[in-house]
Amino acid sequence: MHPLAEKVSIELGKELQNILTYWSTNTIDEINGGFVGERDHNNNLIPNASKGIILNSRILWSFSAASNHLKTDAYNSICERSYNYLKTHFNDEEFGGVYWELDSNGNPINTRKQVYAQAFMIYALSEYYIFSKNKDTLNWAIELYNLIEKNARDTKYKGYIEAFNKDWSPIEDMRLSDKDENEAKTMNTHLHVLEAYTNLYKVYKNENLKNDLSELINLFLTKFLNSNNNLNLFFDEQWNLKSSVISFGHDIETAWLLIEAAKVIENKELLSETERVAVLIADTFIKHGIDVDGGVMNEFEPETNVLDGDKHWWPQAEALVGLRYVYNITGDEKYLLISSKILNFIQTKIIDHKNGEWFWRVDKNGKLYSNDYKIGMWKAPYHNSRACIVLNN
């Protein structure tokens, strides 16, 4: 292993333990069950915070993946706690699928069926199945896969519709969050369906699933990837582009997840193409997405020429993985050098050395935003623990 790659591997091995320790000791909800809904920037518990499916499914994925990677049963109780809470409180026994949000007591308060959330449950359940060998876990993952294919798949134009009401009927506001465009098809949701299906296929060698993955990869190559080697984010049902915003973190995350999808279905032609594309995406990402301090910036809007120079925690993690993949393809040391700078930025600006875990973001000058939460609806251990797991080899 190249010395720079080895250094990153060792550092991230240590950081994985820090992340797991933080989430093990700061998130158990002893009062209402499951896991707490929110802690603020200073790690103070926010009482009666609601509980989101993204946070809870990502906790299950992270501790299952860490258990598989470290070959340990140390986190078995957390995995069981997470799975049981998801099954008891987030699972819609009437219409199938998982709810978006519960109150602090575990009662549904937002019952919409976001396809992004169903995908994340598949991702988490398939990983937990690898650890637990619990067949019920795999069956639930397959059930969610079939629900997505039945209700969200666009058989006319291809791809997947973003969101639905509780009963899987059409919903007017399909947005994942207030920041998103209200459009029928988004790159973000398709990326996480791809990721989920990739993980599911490892344990469920189904021919339809294999074909779905192949189609998803091709959608990324033909619909989402543009001529500038960025990923377009928002489309209507008929694939008319509705936004020109570039998300640097999603670009580099896509680069390596496409390769993983092509690998798992053992399609040599698609693997060759995704590797070629990954290099192009990474080179564009390096040119436009990384600041002089080594941090990965958030977004750029070409139409208005506005750059969001804030540096959120998760693109830093995804950049480490994406650039390693491209180094493995090319053998070019420059990708490792840039990764080392990003890791240094993470260690000096993003990791909370006092309370643990990673801060949400800093501004372009490296100043922390103290009004962001440490744990919450969108702040989970998934991106950073995954980077540590993938690169700690």
Q: Looking at the DSSP assignment, which residues form a beta bridge with residue 91? A: 98
- Mean pLDDT, to the nearest integer, of 259-274? 98
3-state secondary structure of 117: helix
> Which pLDDT band holds residue 176 (cuts at 50, 70, 90)?
confident
pLDDT score, position 336: 98
- Mean pLDDT, to the nearest integer, of 177-182? 82
Nearest-Å Rg of the Cα atoms of the chain is 20
> Which pLDDT band holds residue 210 (cuts at 50, 70, 90)?
very high
- Mean pLDDT, to the nearest integer, of 287-304? 97
3-state secondary structure of 30: coil
- Mean pLDDT, to the nearest integer, of 28-54? 97
**Per-residue model confidence as pLDDT tens digits over 358-383:** 999 999 999 999 999 999 999 999 99
The share of the chain scoring above pLDDT 70, in percent, equals 100
> Which secondary structure element, helix H or strand E, spans residue 387, and what is its range?
helix 382-391
Q: How many residues does the chain have?
A: 393
Handedness of CA 305, 307, 308, 312 (dihedral sign): positive
The share of the chain scoring above pLDDT 90, in percent, equals 97
pLDDT score, position 88: 98
Domain coordinates of the chain in residue numbers?
3-391
Asked whether residue 249 carries a pLDDT value surpassing 90, the answer given is yes
Asked whether residue 45 carries a pLDDT value surpassing 90, the answer given is yes
Over the chain, what is the mean pLDDT?
97
**Per-residue model confidence as pLDDT tens digits over 221-248:** 999 999 999 999 999 999 999 999 999 9
Q: Looking at the DSSP assignment, which residues form a beta bridge with residue 235? A: 185, 241
Fold of 3-391: Glycosyltransferase (1.50.10)
Q: Are 149 and 212 in contact (CB under 8 A)?
A: yes
**Per-residue model confidence as pLDDT tens digits over 134-151:** 999 999 999 999 999 999
Q: Looking at the DSSP assignment, which residues form a beta bridge with residue 102? A: 51, 108
277-280 CB contacts, 8 Å cutoff, 24+ apart: 277/221, 277/225, 277/229, 278/322, 278/325, 278/326, 278/329, 279/326, 279/329, 279/330, 280/229
